[in-house]
Amino acid sequence: MKTIKTQLAAFALALFVSSGVMADKVVKEVKFKVNATKSELKWHAKKVTGEHFGTIGIKEGVLTMDGTKLVAGKFVADLTNMVCTDLKDADYNAKLIGHLKSDDFFSVEKHPTATFVLTKATPKGKNEFNVTGDLTIKGITKPVTFPVTVTPSPTGATAKGTLVVDRSKYDIKYNSKSFFDNLGDKMIYDDFTIEVNLVATK
């Protein structure tokens, strides 16, 4: 009887210790809300005869952290708040932005937002991740992958990375060599970049 009690006590102790170890390994996932005012999206597009760049507003977003690990994330870009920062002539600037918002490009009246939803974050090193997710533009969703640096803090986290977007995959055809031949110096390159800088807090 003494031996059985001893074995039961040992088993209970082992179970308690094991449960404690497992509890120590579980880090609570925390969601941080993206601060639209402090966050920023910068776009940069090129054509044969030059380039343009500017910013896009952020409507909302969230980063979910498990300790120092990025486990989920999302941001919604406000395409109605699209700005060109390289053109100083007000009329030319307004003309460009109006064209970008038209059906030739982003059809902003029909599709006022673009969305990125993280599906996988693969650690590369300290604070470095290869992020894969679904990017939706003009109602078309395609997977994209890009490197991101995530810096956690006691009150939140920041995520920075540069996303390369192939506009031809989102039915943006205007002066694209993927759809038209013999464009000459009117050609606009399919790839453009979005520099993502998200600041998220509790």
pLDDT in tens, the chain (202 residues): 545 555 444 444 444 444 444 444 455 889 999 999 999 999 999 999 999 999 999 999 999 999 999 999 999 999 999 999 999 999 999 999 999 999 999 999 999 999 999 999 999 988 999 999 999 999 999 999 999 999 998 889 999 999 999 999 999 999 999 999 999 999 999 999 999 999 999 8
In a domain, 119, yes or no: yes
- CATH number for the domain including 86? 2.40.128.110
For 130-162, give the DSSP string.
EEEEEEEETTEEEEEEEEEEEEEETTEEEEEEE
Number of domains in the chain: 1
In a domain, 122, yes or no: yes
- Which range marks the domain in which residue 82 is found? 28-201
Which amino acid belongs to residue 60?
Answer: E
- Of 178, 159, 158, the C-alpha closest to 168 is 178
- Of 63, 68, 156, 72, the C-alpha closest to 118 is 72
- Is the CB of residue 161 less than 8 Å from the CB of residue 130? no
Residue corresponding to tokens 């969703």? 141
The predicted structure's pLDDT at residue 3 = 55
In a domain, 185, yes or no: yes
Torsion angle (degrees, nearest 10) of CA 108, 35, 121, 126: 140
CA distance 74 to 148: 13
CA distance 194 to 135: 12
The predicted structure's pLDDT at residue 62 = 97
Torsion angle (degrees, nearest 10) of CA 33, 35, 36, 42: -100
The predicted structure's pLDDT at residue 176 = 98
In a domain, 63, yes or no: yes
- Of 67, 65, 46, 76, the C-alpha closest to 189 is 46
- Tell me, what DSSP letter sits at residue 193? E
In a domain, 22, yes or no: no
The predicted structure's pLDDT at residue 14 = 46
In a domain, 130, yes or no: yes
CA distance 177 to 188: 8
In a domain, 172, yes or no: yes
In a domain, 85, yes or no: yes
The predicted structure's pLDDT at residue 15 = 43
The predicted structure's pLDDT at residue 154 = 86
Q: Which helix (H) or strand (E) holds 121?
A: strand 113-125
